[in-house]
Chains A and B, each alone.
Chain A
Amino acid sequence: MIAAIPTTQTPQLIPGTYIFDGRMAMKGYNLNRMCYSFNSADNRKKFKNFPEAYCHSYNLAPEQIHAVTDLDVLRLLQLGGNIYYLAKLTGIYGMTVQDLGAQQTGLSLDEFRAMLVAQA
C-alpha cells in the first residue's frame, strides 16, 4: 500500500535543520527502506536501470518518486528521508557530501568549499 504523505511538517526548532523524529520516520519509512537496500550492489544496479519501477516496488508516494528522480535532497528530507540513507541514493550518482551541501545551500561547489574553509 502506498502510504499517504502528511502535508504537515515538523516545525524547525533549529533553522535549516531537519530533526529526524518519529513523525519524519513514519513519513519516510518506505523511502528510507529503499535507500537501505542500496547497500547491495545488485540493488543499486536494478535501481539505476529502472529508477521509477524500483521506487514503485518500495511503494513510494508519487512526490517521493519525483524527488528521487530529481535527486532533490531538501525535498527528500521534507518527505521523510534521513540523510544517512539518502547518501546511499546520491552515492549511486557519485555525489559526495560536498555536492549535497552545495545543492542544499544553493551555492556552487567551489563556494560551498570556500564556506567550509572560512570557518577554520
Chain B
Amino acid sequence: MARIIGALTSSHIPSIGNAISNGKQEDAYWKPFFDGYQPVLRWLEREKPDVAIVLYNDHGLNFFLNNLPTFAVGAASEYTTKDEGWGLPVFPPYKGYPEMSWHVIESLIAQDFDIAMCQEMAMDHAFINPMRLFWPTENPPAIKTIPVAINTVQFPLPRPARCYALGKAIGNAVASWPTEEKVVVIGTGGMSHQLDGERAGFINKKFDEMCMEALLNNPEKLAGFSSLELVREAGAQGAEIIMWLAARGALHGKVSRIHSSYHIPISNTAAGVLALANN
C-alpha cells in the first residue's frame, strides 16, 4: 500500500522562476525567501518520496475560459511546459505516472468527485516553481508527478470545504494503490496577495498566520470559509490557499509540522512554505 509521507505547500510566484534561473538565491532580496526552504529540502533528501501529487491552479496556459474544469487530474506519461506569454523559461517535460493517475481518477469518481481527466496537460509556473524550489538540483527531477488542477480563475470557485474533501479523497486513493511507494502531496499558491483592482497590493499577515496554524491543527476552520470570505481576507489571488487546504486534506494520519517559513513581500505576495509530516 502506498503511503503519503507528508504535504508541502508553497507560494508559486512567477518571479521565483527567474530568480532561480538567474542564480539570485543569495541576493539580499531573495535570501530570506530561499533560506526558508532549506529544512524542507533536508527532509526531502532524507525521505526521498517516489511520487508527487501536485495540486495547483492553471493561469491560462493549459485551460482557457472556453472549457474550464473545476477539478482536473492529469493522466499523462509526461507534462510539458510552454510559453506563458511573459518570458518565463520553458523546460523539458516533467515525468508523469499514468498508471497511478488512472487509479486516482477511478477512486475519485467512486468517491463522487466527478473530475475532468487529461492525457495531455501543459504545466505553468504554479506547478513548475514549487517543483524547482523543492528539487533545486535537478529540473525536471526524477520524481513521478500527478498534477491536479483546481479552478481559481473563474467564479464560482470550488468551495474551500470541497477542496478539503477532494484532498481527503486523494488520500483514500493513495491508500488503495498497491505499491510500497512514498507519496508527497504538494499544494501551491498563496499566501495573501491581490494583483487586480484598486485594492491591489493587499496583504494580510494575521490571516496568513491563522492559515499556517489552522492547516496544522484545525483545517476544518479554514474549510469553513466561503470563497468570497477568502478573497476578502487573503486578497483576490490569496484564495489560492484552497490548494494548501486540499493538500492538507490528503493527510489522514497524525500530522506534525516539519517546518514553516513566511516572508513579505516577494513581488506583490506574502510568500509562505509549510511542510507537514503524516504519521
Contacts and interface: CB of A to CB of B under 8 A. Distances in A.
B188 interface: no
B198 A105 contact: yes
Contacts of B60: 32, 35-36, 39, 82, 84-85, 88
B221 interface: no
Contact of B84 (A16, A25, A39): A39
A1 B61 CA distance: 26
A100 B85 contact: no
Interface size class of B (residues with CB under 8 A): 35 or more
B236 to A, nearest CB: 6
Interface in B167-213: 194-205
A39 B83 contact: yes
A32 B203 CA distance: 26
A39 B61 contact: yes
A114 B264 CA distance: 11
Nearest to B86: A91
B231 interface: yes
B201 A82 contact: no
B64 A14 contact: no
Interface string B53-78: 00000011100111000000000000
B153 interface: yes
A71 to B, nearest CB: 14
A69 B202 CA distance: 27
A91 B87 contact: yes
B197 A39 contact: no
The listed residue with most B CB atoms (<10 A of its CB), out of A16, A17, A92, A120, is A17
Given A39-B82, A101-B268, A105-B201, A19 B231 contact: yes
B139 interface: no
A83 interface: yes
Contacts of A91: 85-87
Contacts of A21: 154-156
A58 interface: no
B198 A20 contact: no
A83 B221 CA distance: 29
A103 B264 CA distance: 21
Given A38-B85, A84-B59, A84-B153, A15 B64 contact: no
Contacts of A38: 85
Contacts of A108: none
B85 A39 contact: yes
Given A36-B60, A84-B59, A116 B265 contact: yes
A32 B196 contact: no
B84 A88 contact: yes
Interface of B: 15, 59-61, 64-66, 82-87, 153-156, 194-205, 228, 231-232, 236-237, 264-265, 267-268, 270
Interface of A: 13-22, 25, 29, 32-33, 35-36, 38-41, 44, 73-74, 77, 82-88, 91-92, 96-98, 100-101, 104-105, 112, 115-117, 119-120
5 nearest A-B pairs in the assembled complex, by CB-CB distance: A91-B86, A16-B199, A16-B198, A88-B85, A83-B196
